[in-house]
Structure 1
Amino acid sequence: MKERNYTLKKSNLSSKKPLFAISSCLAGEQVRYDGKSQALGDELAQLEAKYRLLSICPEMAIGLGVPRPPIHLRWSESTQNYRAVLIEQPEVDYTEALHDYAVLLLAKYPELTGVILKQKSPSCGTGKTKLFDRHGELQRADGWGIFAAELLRLRPCLQVLNENNIIYHIKSSGI
């Protein structure tokens, strides 16, 4: 399992602060499929003051490199659900690997309080991920990423946030 503590201070590792996992791309790491990041910026320091942050990238953790061919969520007639597949090779399916990573993460970090995930991602999306039919045609954009959905299925009380609602929360509550 590939993840790293975003904060390298030794005191942070044993801190009593709540543990939050954060998408590595939001933590400033260049791990997106296109080799870029989507760093939060100043909000990251505010989060670090209140939480222990664990940087994770489900797609990297399951062995996908950077850059990598993009995946999307496509309907499968055989399984009757959406699957995380390569856009150009829909027979290449990463759904089970993403499920397994969610299980491993929760087992390794039972104290995990919440996650801050990249909205719209096919692995980490939180309610605005694009969903495609079995032919690859866009149907709607209200799905959950495979990894994010599995985390919630396994631990329904887990706090699941994305870069937009965490920024709003920081600005409104002054974390």
Structure 2
Amino acid sequence: MDQVRPRVAVSSCLLGEPVRYNGGHSRDRFLSGALSDHVEWVPICPEMEIGLGSPRETLRLERGPDGPRLMTRRTRTDLTAPMASLATARAAALDVDGYVFKAKSPSCGIHGIPIYASSGTPDGPEAAADAAAAPASGNVVDRRGRGLFAGAVMDAHPSLPVEDEGRLHDAVLREAFVERIFAVARLRSLLKSDWRPHDLVAFHARHKMQLLAHAPDAYRGLGRIVAEAGARPHDTLAVSYSEAFRTALAAKATIGRNVNVLHHCLGMISDHLDPARRADLVEVIESYQARRVALCVPVTLLRHHARGEGAAYVRDQTYFSPYPEDLGLRNHVVS
């Protein structure tokens, strides 16, 4: 199956660009290596774009009356307004299938960013509260913050597949993110073409098993949207389907749902198999369910048997090739 090349925004430092506060980079091997062969990167460094340069003074988030403020640590310069303005402009123009942010960054972190007590601000209720919190928390009053830039982008695009490079070191999270960006890219390619209702019907049919592995109820809801393909205007139909499709794939694909999909596919090709081969496939699916083998094992066997006559519907499911195989993302055994 031909794969559409996703457009993915990324913190520039993760691709090796020397834009970090210390003049260095944070090159990530997976992003700059294996994944680079299959995606179109859109590098972004918000600190550089607001004119800070590299090397530069370090930044941190501090609690403010209207939300976190982005402050330089030494000179106490408030960069909240320029960063917020850049984030608004970037978010409005963003046309990508996913985004990989730099972890632990006060501008680009997507979770767990410390928010410090305000420093050098006038006395008042907020300052008093900060002072009270500081001794117990080492000047950190909240560890659940998001980077100022990343938070604005995520708020503007709530269904956009987003991760940071730290979380992508986890095999399950890496696979889920890559699966989503390729699915979103395929949908983007369809909706930017001169598509017709039957094209959306075909797209939905090809993604049936993939969607069922994530969110069976959402798949049925998407089916109701597709059923209106000949009656609703293209634009509103595309928006409705796109949002529901992205939301469905954001749900975690569980072992149980994968097992249901594998059995569903086996049932559709069962008439083309002799009893011994059917028994072998059932045994492999059970081994996956028992966490003895990786998902790639039953998937590869089912795809092999679906290449015969009468199995085109199963063979063409995106579930079997959701992204380039050389990424090897289904090769881990779920613990």
TM-score range (shorter-chain normalised) is 0.7 to 0.9
* 1:104 Cα offset (Å): 2.3
Counterpart position of 2:163: 161
TM-score, normalised via structure 2 length: 0.43
Pair 1:142–1:171, CA change in 2 (3 A):
closer
The residue aligned with 2:11 is 23
Superposed, which structure 2 residues align to 1:20-169 within 5 Å? 20-76=8-64, 79-90=65-76, 92-109=77-94, 111-135=95-119, 137-169=139-171
- Gap regions ≥5 residues in structure 2: 121-138, 176-327, 330-335
Once the two structures are TM-superposed, the CA of residue 80 in structure 1 deviates from its matched residue by: 3.0
**Residues matched between the structures, number:** 157
1:172 to partner: Cα distance? 6.0
**Alignment RMSD:** 2.2
Aligned with 1:115: secondary structure?
strand
Higher Cα Rg: structure 1 or 2? 2
Q: Percent identity?
A: 31
TM-score with structure 1 length normalisation?
0.80
* Structure 1 counterpart of 2:90, one-letter code: L
| Highest RCO, 1 vs 2 (Cα 8 Å, sep ≥ 6) | 1
Task: Identify the structure with the greater strand proportion.
Answer: 1
| More off after superposition, 25-34 vs 35-44 | 35-44
**1:133-163: CA deviation from partner (whole Å, max 9, x where unpaired):** 1138222332100000000111111222101
- Give the whole-Å Cα distance in 1 for the aligned partners of 2:27 and 2:159: 26
Identify the structure with the greater helix proportion: 2
1:11 aligns with none
1:6-34 alpha-carbon deviations (Å, 9 max, x no partner): xxxxxxxxx94221111111111111111
Tell me the secondary structure at the aligned position of residue 15 of structure 2: coil
SS in 2 for 1:123: coil
